[in-house]
């Protein structure tokens, strides 16, 4: 069995390179002129860079030559190609893969709801040639506003903006598009009264930490079971805000202590879950932070390879694609090999890259990719 140790091998089982080449020409008016290093080679480069943590075009070009992928390759050739290929190609490919790879229903933490965390991460740079991303004095940044499926540990929507665009400004775009039963979990950056009322008016369930200082007009108290493990200290219903600017709706407020002992106020419109379950749902928001950590570690922040908007966003979206491909492969195969070997996603990724996965894991990956190729060839989807 051939070794599978690059994300491009996974991608090609879903969308063949020839299809991507045709799409570049048709949808982006991209004319491929290079014979030595093509746009698909650039995609290959970025995907490998995203999991092998290359530090720049130079290291990547030298590694590809050492691996035997090219007889010779100059880093300037890669840099030039990175400016030619529109970043929208990588962004749209990422969005398409999200649709293909996150449609199957997995086991849910909650029987009646899917769980989605919503948050953003700021990627900062220190270089004046990135003035297109001006953030603060001598600091430049982009933000990735993200919806994340907690059950699957997969992003489902990502919107890029400059660092100046606030979370609450982008909130309606990511909070309001889901129609199926899903609880949206978010931290206090999204704890604005207007957003809570908007979500409630559209019957969108949520658990959102309130911003500090929001007043509570308590209307009634709910009974809850005291449990030291969950440390719920209060459960009541209240209007939020001062008398003349109160919320339209009353909200259930579940209060838990922070690590420092200060109270964390969780506002929710989910009434049928126990208070300790609301607390647990909020704690599961941490999964999106682990995702952001993976992305930043594999993007070598704050040193992306290029300076232009096109180069930076191409690398960002290609790294997101690499995560998506590896996480999907792990999610789909893990139930089949977990009785033989125990691997975390981090361990799986490391062994995948080094081609040291146990043979039973490699067999399941091979079968999965064969199935994906078969389905993709017959239906155009997986």
**What is the pTM assigned to this prediction?**
0.87
Using one digit for the tens of pLDDT, what is the confidence trace for 69-114? 899 999 999 999 999 999 999 999 999 999 888 765 455 667 778 8
Cis status of the peptide bond prior to 302, with omega within 30 of 0:
yes
Q: Residue 327: inside a domain, yes or no?
A: no
- Tell me: do 238 and 196 sit in the same domain: yes
Residue 223 has a pLDDT of: 86
* Residue 194 maps to a domain: yes
Q: Element (H or E) spanning 208, and its range? A: strand 206-209
CB contact at 8 A, 311 and 305: yes
Give the strand pairing for 263-268 and 251-257: antiparallel
Q: Are residues 266 and 295 in the same domain?
A: no
pLDDT tens-digit map of 362-381: 999 999 999 999 888 776 66
Whether 343 has a pLDDT exceeding 70, the answer reads yes
Say which DSSP state 356 is in: -
Residue 147, SS3 per DSSP: strand
Average pLDDT, integer, range 46-61: 90
CA angle at 90 for the pair 374 and 153, rounded to the nearest 5°: 70
My answer on whether 297 and 149 are in the same domain is: yes
Measured CA to CA in angstroms, residue 82 lies from 79, 273, 340 at distances of: 5, 50, 42
Do 170 and 313 share a domain, yes or no? yes
Share of the chain residues as helix, strand and coil, in percent rounded to the nearest 5: 50, 20, 35
For range 224-228, the mean pLDDT: 71
In a domain, 14, yes or no: no
Whether 278 is covered by a domain: the verdict is: yes
Q: How many C-beta atoms surround the C-beta of residue 171 within 10 A?
A: 23
State the number of CA atoms in the 13 A half-sphere of 10 facing the CB.
25
Residue 236, classed as helix, strand or coil, is strand
Residue 349 lies in a domain: no
| Overall average pLDDT of the 333-344 stretch | 93
Q: Please determine, for residue 1, whether its predicted confidence score (pLDDT) is greater than 60.
A: no
For the chain, what is the domain count?
Answer: 2
Whether the CB-CB separation of 39 and 85 falls below 8 Å is answered with yes
Q: Which residues span the domain enclosing 110?
A: 87-182+285-317
Q: Which of 257, 282, 307 is the last residue of a domain?
A: 282
Domain co-membership, 164 together with 290 = yes
Residue 34: inside a domain: no
Same domain, 102 and 164: yes
Alpha carbon 115 to its chain's center: 14
The answer to whether 10 and 329 have CB atoms below 8 angstroms apart is yes
> Does 144 lie in the same domain as 132?
yes
């Amino acid at each position: 069995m051939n070794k599978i140790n690059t994300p491009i091998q996974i991608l090609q089982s879903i969308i063949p390179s020839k299809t991507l080449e045709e799409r570049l020409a048709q949808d982006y008016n991209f004319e491929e002129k290079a014979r030595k290093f093509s746009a698909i080679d650039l995609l290959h480069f970025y995907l490998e860079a995203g999991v092998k943590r290359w530090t720049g075009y130079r290291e990547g070009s030298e590694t590809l030559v050492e691996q035997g992928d090219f007889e010779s390759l100059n880093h300037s050739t890669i840099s030039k190609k990175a400016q030619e290929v529109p970043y929208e190609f990588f962004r749209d490919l990422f969005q398409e893969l999200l649709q293909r790879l996150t449609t199957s229903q997995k086991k849910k933490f909650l029987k009646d709801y899917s769980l989605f965390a919503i948050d953003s991460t700021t990627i900062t740079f220190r270089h004046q040639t990135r003035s297109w991303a001006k953030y603060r004095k001598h600091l430049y940044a982009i933000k990735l506003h993200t919806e994340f499926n907690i059950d699957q540990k997969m992003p489902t929507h990502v919107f890029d903006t400059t660092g100046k665009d606030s979370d609450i400004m982008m909130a309606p775009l990511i909070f309001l598009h889901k129609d199926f039963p899903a609880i949206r979990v978010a931290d206090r950056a999204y704890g604005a009264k207007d957003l809570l009322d908007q979500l409630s008016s559209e019957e969108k369930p949520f658990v959102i930490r309130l911003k500090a200082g929001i007043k509570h007009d308590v209307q009634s108290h709910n009974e809850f079971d005291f449990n030291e493990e969950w440390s719920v200290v209060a459960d009541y219903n209240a209007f939020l805000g001062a008398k003349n600017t109160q919320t339209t709706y009353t909200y259930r407020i579940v209060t838990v202590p922070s690590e420092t002992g200060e109270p964390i106020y969780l506002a929710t419109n989910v009434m049928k879950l126990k208070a300790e379950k609301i607390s647990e749902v909020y704690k599961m928001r941490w999964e999106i932070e682990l995702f952001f950590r993976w992305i930043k570690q594999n993007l070598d922040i704050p040193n992306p390879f290029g300076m232009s908007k096109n180069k930076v966003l191409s690398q960002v979206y290609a790294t997101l694609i690499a995560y998506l491909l590896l996480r999907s492969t792990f999610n789909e195969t893990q139930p089949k090999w977990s009785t033989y070997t125990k691997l975390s996603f981090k361990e799986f990724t490391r062994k995948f890259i080094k081609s040291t996965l146990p043979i039973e894991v490699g067999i399941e990956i091979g079968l999965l990719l064969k199935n994906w190729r078969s389905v993709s060839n017959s239906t155009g989807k997986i």
